[in-house]
Chain A
Amino acid sequence: MENLIQSLTERVKQAASNNTPLAIHGGNSKSFYGGAIRGDALDLRAYTGIIDYEPKELVLTVRAGTPLQEIETALEAAGQMLPFEPPYYADTATIGGTVATGLSGPRRPYTGAVRDFVLGTRIINGKGEDLSFGGRVIKNVAGYDVSRLMTGAMGTLGVLLDISFKVLPKPTDEITLRFEMDEATAIQRFNEWAGKPLPISATSWHQGVAMVRLSGAAAGVKAAREKLGGEAVADAQAFWRDLRDHRAPFFEDAEPLRRLSVPSTTSPLSLDLPQWIEWGGALRWVKGAADVKVLREKIASVGGHATLFRHGDKSVGVFHPLAPVLAKIHVNLKAAFDPDNILNPGRMDNFS
């Protein structure tokens, strides 16, 4: 593997000296996401395998090209999980792409996001330097938290090599409850329930139906179920997986799909577009044609941001524009990590 790292490092150095951009990829399961892809492909799939996993440490270290499936299978065997419930979008998903896109699944508001569980990374920066930040221990405050900075940076700051995560035991019991209620009531309830000591691990609202997943020790789940009411759902696992991976029919057509990340208590947005709410109200998926400028202004006015997630016209920008003061810091950071602008240029398209 050290030979492979050597050759990856050489590729980056060469690209920097020739000024030819590189398009970093793993399983291409999320290539639809982010700004347009340009540059020579830099395939990380050969850089694969679990480096270190000791369940009693709650720490896992893996190579970026490792298939997500392989990792989750290994964790499952030890009764543990990646607590952010990573979306796959396709079976080919790798852990590198998971961290680079920074996307988390239904459990996110209740347990944390990808960035909350990244402990350390080894990367190649745009100068072809092989660098390690963070570590394999749960508490670590030596130096700036560059590893979390890599999370969600769309590969624009470095090629991810190794990543260490904190993992958690998988809850032993799980049940999903179904309620019929309107959008405003669902948002209100989700927020009220999150303020109570209940083992909620996922929430969803779509077309008048709210779903609430409870996960934890048997006694706690049972007590919470009695408190909340609702009716138990059979085959709930498939429901949450289809929502996580956008396999539900709502997500399957070619309409522009927007990801609206808003404060969880935001009242119904009344956008007149088909909508699916999760994350206790903090994530609202809408699809269909919309005036981007009007939409962004509206979402910004409630304290959120809008991303064009899939399909639609990317030329108007995929990510929400940054305030000038932040855009300047982004430009500086990009130049610090990748002075020749060769790593996934344009994939994060809200500053330049």
Chain B
Amino acid sequence: MAALPETNIAASRAALAGRLSGILPPDALLTEAEDLKPYECDGLSAYRALPMLAVLPQTVEEVQRILRVATETETKVVARGSGTGLSGGATPLGDGILMSMAKFNRIVSVDPLARTARVQPGVRNQKISEEVAYLGLYYAPDPSSQIACSIGGNVAENSGGVHCLKYGLTVHNILKIEVVTIEGETATIGSDALDSPGYDLLALITGSEGMLGITTEVTVKLVPKPQLARVVMASFDDVEKAGDAVANVIGAGIVPAGLEMMDKLATEAVEDFVHAGYDLDAEAILLCESDGTPEEVEEEIAKMETVMKASGATACRTSNSESERLKFWSGRKAAFPAVGRISPDYYCIDGSIPRRALAPTLRRTEELSKKYGLRCANVFHAGDGNLHPLILFDANVEGELERTEAVAAELLELCIEYGGTITGEHGVGIEKINQMCSQFSDAEREMFFAVKRAFDEKLLLNPGKAIPTLNRCAEYGRMRVSGGKMPHSDIPRF
């Protein structure tokens, strides 16, 4: 889609601002470039655009009014939570409204007996667990960005975290959402019971990247906080052996609370940064956590240690206190910023593969890293097959970003080949929209559009994200034929 000429945007902005100023408090409407600047990108900062204008509603009625105006004037709307998303799901549209849900920041109520909390979408993920800690409960999904990311964004992206193998993703941990449709109608999706009549719209909307409706409230499930958690840290002199150890843990009937792998480059980067006590001689380390009652943890930890040793671990340490456990994890949690310290820029890939494809995928990653002359640190949610290779590059060096994107594109194609997916938890957004052409057929992508139209006939909610058009895929197909890398990286991506 070609961008509108600036004069048209200015005219549309003035007309739209006129309509909206009549229905919103003055501080809920931003139209000046300097006020719009903070909204120009989300966590995928390589892609930026100033929205035509931004709105910050505080009530459901205001959201309804804004969306009615959007429908009447056929104006596009992009919703935004904390803006920590990594795939550009909240990147604004130059000819659209950016709707920040930041003012929806209240925990509405907590029901200790039912183990649920009603929260507004702008509430930070970690805030929920902090708020209910006195009840011995917490909200399980824990994306690495949990101190900052909002629950509304978690619903839009179906966020996971390091504990999701055992405790599930966002879709498994919410009961009900209140949404406003693009036509400005309110709808309750899901319920306080365990199921609802009709189709499972709750599952359909979770992870739909803000393209089906605007969430104004989320009822989350709270679960009992485990009495105890301990983590085994095992070293391996070979990445494949570490991969086998992962399979052997699962094969032994254990579902660890968390199971993470880091390769040598990643451990070196974090050790330098947080001094977590990682084994710097190891080619790979595994962090394998058990939680539950003291009796359960003791039994499971013993099993885990046995499996690690039998799988060829060269060293194996188990945390003996909560502070030691947190220290072991501190390195993993700091992996991204640590890598940020050793390279001017890095690019995070988010493919998922069946675990058995781990060794060939890691080998291929290494080959690609050599071929394109870029270092790659591997951080891996090993328990659930979600890879996060971090490609190190310098955007100021001519051609490095393009080479990085080429590595990413090849790796994602490989994930598809192994029966995996191009995005395990970060979403498609605008970042991986081209790879959607490879993962899905024309008919499948048309089906996605049909789903979108069932909610949003005029395609006004976050259009251009997540699902590529047939034309776009045809264009991508032609580009891939010409060498597998992405030329013209300067063309608009949405």
Contacts and interface: CB of A to CB of B under 8 A. Distances in A.
Nearest to B226: A197
Given A112-B168, A139-B424, A217-B296, A56 B356 contact: yes
B381 interface: yes
Interface string B272-301: 000000000000000000001101101110
A290 interface: no
Interface in B349-372: 352-356
B194 to A, nearest CB: 5
B421 A135 contact: yes
A264 B186 CA distance: 25
A348 B195 CA distance: 15
Interface stretch (A22-30, A41-49, A301-309): A301-309
Interface string B135-150: 1110000000000000
Given A109-B194, A282-B193, A57 B355 contact: yes
B467 interface: yes
Contacts of A333: 199, 451, 454
Interface in B435-487: 436, 439-441, 443-445, 447-448, 450-455, 466-467
Interface residues of A, number: 87
Contacts of A79: 253
A329 B454 contact: yes
Interface string A123-137: 001000101110111
A219 B295 CA distance: 5
Contacts of A195: 112-113, 115, 135-137, 224
Nearest to B435: A142
A142 B423 contact: yes
A143 B253 contact: no
A139 B352 contact: yes
Contacts of A172: 253
A220 B295 contact: yes
A298 to B, nearest CB: 14
A310 B61 CA distance: 42
B164 interface: yes
A196 interface: yes
Nearest to A139: B424
Contacts of B440: 142-143
B306 interface: no
A151 B200 contact: yes
B81 interface: no
B113 A303 contact: no
Interface stretch (A63-71, A89-97, A315-323): A315-323
Contacts of B466: 143
Given A138-B385, A141-B427, A319-B197, A304 B295 contact: no
Interface stretch (B5-13, B16-24, B118-126, B204-212): B204-212
Contacts of A131: 441, 443-444, 447
B168 A144 contact: no
Contacts of A194: 115, 224
B227 interface: yes
Contacts of A282: 193-194
B250 interface: yes
B160 A139 contact: yes
Given A145-B171, A195-B224, A305 B293 contact: no
A57 B447 contact: no
B169 A139 contact: yes
B172 A144 contact: no
Nearest to A153: B199
A303 B444 contact: no
Contact of B453 (A138, A218, A325, A332): A332
B153 interface: no
Contacts of B186: 325
A102 B200 contact: yes
The 6 A-B pairs of least Cβ separation, nearest first, read: A148-B203, A219-B295, A332-B454, A336-B450, A220-B296, A139-B424
